[in-house]
Structure 1
Amino acid sequence: MNTKLINRPLYEDVAERLREQIFAHELAPGSWLDEQSLALQFGISRTPMREAIKVLASEGLVTTKMNKGAYVTEVDRRDLEQIFTVLSLLEGQAAKETALKASEEQLTALDNLHHRLEKAAADRDIEQFFDINVKFHDMIQNIAGNKWMNGVIVDLRKVLKLQRRDSLSRSGRLL
């Protein structure tokens, strides 16, 4: 992995790189995160690796077990049901606030994104679908302007991203 570091704490860069590996399933759900070997692989000490793992744990992407270490979070059906329940409440509120606050230009932009989203689904273009879906929801959140609600939504979406490809390839879904 030959990525340039940007001007931020090392543990944040390490967390971002681990996050990418988790989303790409290079670090599979349920797999143990061996701090020592990961630190060696990244060419860093264990301290920034430990801090990076704490960041991912706070986002729900990693689960820590007392005296056993950290593991990539496994999301089961019950977890998904609970996450979607909370997410639907929060995103419903964001949509309500957006409906009250949005300008005509913003509504037009949302409508355009929605049409592009429908086209990506019809074309079964999963990458395009996910990219546009994120932009659509981000725009709604930005218009709503509630930083606390947005922070929770962002973290819940990260956990959902662990399962997104699997969920859309089931019968009757996008793929």
Structure 2
Amino acid sequence: MRLVPNSLHDEVAAQLRERIFAGELTPGTFLDELKLAEQMKISRTPLREALKVLTHEGLVRHEPRRGCFVNEVTEQDLDEIFPVIALLEGRCAFEAAQNASDADIAALEDLHDKLQRHAKAKRINEYYATNFAIHEAIIALAGNRWLAGVIGDLRKIVKLARLQQLHAPGRLEQSLSEHLAVFAALKARDAEGAEAAMRTHLTRQRVALRDLARSQRSRLA
């Protein structure tokens, strides 16, 4: 389908971003500008602008004289990013507990009910989507645009990794328990408890990813 010219490079960036998140463009993939431009029925100018956007977000890396590649998130990247996200999303949970209305809590309860159903049925992709919606709702309830902006940038980089950690043995059930702890604190308007529970949740995500990577290396050895 041909893209409309309005904010063309933003639309191109959005499409490429979704293809990366969907796993269609895997880490390390060379982004052939000519081929992509032909596929998307656009010129290379908006494509190059879109690639600059994705490079700024950390999803794409540019190598001089070689071109652009889908970025690969290293273990060191995850070690450095997750503690920062834990701090920031923890603060969001703190502020959300202070700001949430009864209607907000009711909406979060509906999302957590869905989360529990997906966990029980082992629907990992659906669980992740609901999990993502819960995190987004808590960030929105915090009402802090500075926190939201920084978290948004970091989450784009680790999005695929956060989905992968749910495949670690026992992680789905553990994640659900952590989410319910965050929600219980929010429901009680316990700001400090919500902050601590969210930080624990994010920290354990990193532990699960590290265990998963170690297990994968052992199988390949």
Asked if TM exceeds 0.5, the reply is yes
Describe the SS at the equivalent of 1:174. Answer: helix
CA shift, 1:24, in A, is 1.9
Quick one: percent identity of the two aligned structures? Answer: 47
Q: Which residue of the partner structure matches residue 62 of structure 1?
A: 60
What TM-score comes out, normalization by structure 1 length?
0.88
CA shift, 1:11, in A, is 0.8
Q: Which residue of the partner structure matches residue 96 of structure 1?
A: 94
Contact in 2 for aligned 1:75/1:162 (Cα 8 Å): no
Q: Which amino acid letter does the alignment assign opposite residue 42 of structure 1?
A: M
Contact in 1 for aligned 2:9/2:50 (Cα 8 Å): yes
CA distance in structure 2 between the partners assigned to 1:125 and 1:32 by the alignment: 32
Deviations 1:128-159 (A, max 9, x none): 21221122111111111111211221222222
Larger proportion of helix: 2
Matches within 5 A, 1:143-154: 143-154=141-152
CA shift, 1:115, in A, is 3.0
CA distance in structure 1 between the partners assigned to 2:98 and 2:4 by the alignment: 38
Q: Which amino acid letter does the alignment assign opposite residue 136 of structure 1?
A: I
CA distance in structure 1 between the partners assigned to 2:25 and 2:160 by the alignment: 11
Q: Which residue of the partner structure matches residue 163 of structure 1?
A: 161
Structure ID, larger Rg: 2
Query: CA RMSD for the aligned pairs?
Result: 2.0
Q: Which residue of the partner structure matches residue 133 of structure 2?
A: 135
Count of residue pairs the alignment pairs up? 173
What TM-score comes out, normalization by structure 2 length?
0.71
Contact in 1 for aligned 2:3/2:41 (Cα 8 Å): no
CA distance in structure 1 between the partners assigned to 2:76 and 2:13 by the alignment: 27
Q: Which residue of the partner structure matches residue 122 of structure 1?
A: 120
Contact in 2 for aligned 1:57/1:63 (Cα 8 Å): yes
Unaligned residue ranges in structure 2 (runs of 5+): 174-221
